[in-house]
Amino acid sequence: MSFRHFLLPALIACVPSACESWRFSPPAGEWAIRTPDAWRTVSTGSEGRISSGWLEEFRDPELTLVVDEALQHNRDLKTAAARLREAGETSRTC
């Protein structure tokens, strides 16, 4: 058996042990993360429905422009809308 035939299996055997040395231990102590009290209570909001004007509630014109542009150029949404229209037309004709 040549040295080359011995080297590859030896390297492969060393890989798992090398990976073991890269394990990270969790940080010592507790992480003190304070969340607002309002986040801890359950609220149904407007009867559990999402507002149709949720984007405007952010009052950020740049965000509104970005979301509008994304919606205009989203081929998946256009395809889904076309399929819904097609399904609606098919169900009316049957």
Per-residue pLDDT averaged across 42-54, rounded? 67
Distance CA 92, CA 34 (A): 55
42 or 85: whose pLDDT is higher? 85
Q: 92 or 88: which carries more pLDDT confidence? A: 88
Domain ranges in the chain? 58-94
Is pLDDT above 60 for 13?
A: yes
The predicted structure's pLDDT at residue 62: 95
Residues 57 and 63 sit within 8 Å (Cβ to Cβ):
no
d(CA 55, CA 67): 9
Global pTM reads 0.36
Q: Which residues pair with 49 in a beta bridge?
A: 46
Non-local CB neighbours of 57 within 8 Å, separated by 6+ positions: 51
pLDDT at res. 60? 93
**Amino acid 33: pLDDT:** 78
The alpha carbon of 60 is separated from its chain's Cα centroid by a whole number of angstroms, namely 23
